[in-house]
Amino acid sequence: MKRFACLMISTAAMVAAGTAMAAGDAARGEAEFAVCAVCHGEQGEGFEKYGAPKIGGQEDWYIVLSLTNFRAGARARDNCDVADVAGTLERAKAESPDYAEIEAELATHFEGGLPSGGACSQPSADVHGSLMRAIALTLEDDQLVQDLAAYATSLTPPLPPVTVEGDVTAGTMGYATCIACHGANGEGIQALNAPAVAGQHDWYTQRQLMNYMSGVRGTNPQNITDMQMRPMAQVLITPEAVKNVTAYINTFTAAE
């Protein structure tokens, strides 16, 4: 069953990025996950202070889609195709001093210290996305994307805490637009490339919806799925409505 699912992802990734890949090797993915754990945690649980979402237990096809798009510059594009981890981390530090904590640890994962793109990388409005893109560009090969996805999807991190409060009744109505693609319980629909939104950190959902509204995300013509999502977020119109819909999404996984 799992194996079949992996073959399905290869097709999705092919459509997304025009590259053919074989199914993932979770053992190799586990060995290579150490660098991911610096920001996303050992269980892929995600950390708010690093802006890093939960990826443990996320659908393997969406991890592949995301990493493939980051690598191709279809998500968080800057003007540089060289992995500029040092430069993007500098800018992330300016945004959130917590990033200073991980600089040394992150450097240990790269021979010769943090990769730097030198002068080629321009500041981007998408500080978090640019950092993730720089990391994705350090992955040796497309097969590693599959391997990391195979491992990350097998993880079972705890449910994230609730941090976003809002009007759940208003949010229920706001979510009516979302059902067609993300499912009535936020479970996601692979055939539509729409990931699960249930069980994700609420601050991440909120930030991504704000990113879509402002055009930080969803304006790159190379990324059709992101372009599809943008007008859906724009329907929400106000930050208040984003909060409400996020609060409603929280109810999908609320403890009994």
The contact set with ligand HEC (CB under 6 A) reads 35-36, 38-40, 50-53, 55, 63, 66-67, 106, 128-129, 131-132, 135, 139, 148, 152, 177-178, 180-182, 192-195, 197, 200, 205, 208-209, 223, 225-226, 228-229, 232, 235-236, 245
Report the SS3 class of residue 189: strand
Which C-beta is closer to ligand HEC: that of 86 or that of 148? 148
Give the closest residue to 217 by CA, choosing from 82, 107, 88, 76. 76
Which C-beta is closer to ligand HEC: that of 121 or that of 223? 223
Two structure tokens written together for 170: 């208003």
Which C-beta is closer to ligand HEC: that of 18 or that of 256? 18
Which C-beta is closer to ligand HEC: that of 39 or that of 80? 39
Closest CB 7 distance from ligand HEC, rounded Å: 20
Closest CB 231 distance from ligand HEC, rounded Å: 8
CA–CA dist 139, 29 (Å, integer):
11
Instruction: Give CA separation, 62 vs 6, 18, 162, 179, 230, in Å.
Output: 11, 16, 23, 18, 17
Report the SS3 class of residue 52: strand
Which C-beta is closer to ligand HEC: that of 2 or that of 105? 105
Residue 238's contacts (CB-CB under 8 Å, 6 or more residues apart) are: none
Residue linked to tokens 């992995």: 83
Give the closest residue to 182 by CA, choosing from 216, 146, 238, 228. 228
Which C-beta is closer to ligand HEC: that of 15 or that of 180? 180
Closest CB 126 distance from ligand HEC, rounded Å: 7
CA–CA dist 67, 13 (Å, integer):
10
Closest CB 209 distance from ligand HEC, rounded Å: 6
Residue 173's contacts (CB-CB under 8 Å, 6 or more residues apart) are: none
Which C-beta is closer to ligand HEC: that of 17 or that of 55? 55
Closest CB 3 distance from ligand HEC, rounded Å: 20
CA–CA dist 182, 188 (Å, integer):
4
CA–CA dist 236, 30 (Å, integer):
39
Closest CB 211 distance from ligand HEC, rounded Å: 7
Closest CB 1 distance from ligand HEC, rounded Å: 22
Two structure tokens written together for 53: 């979402």
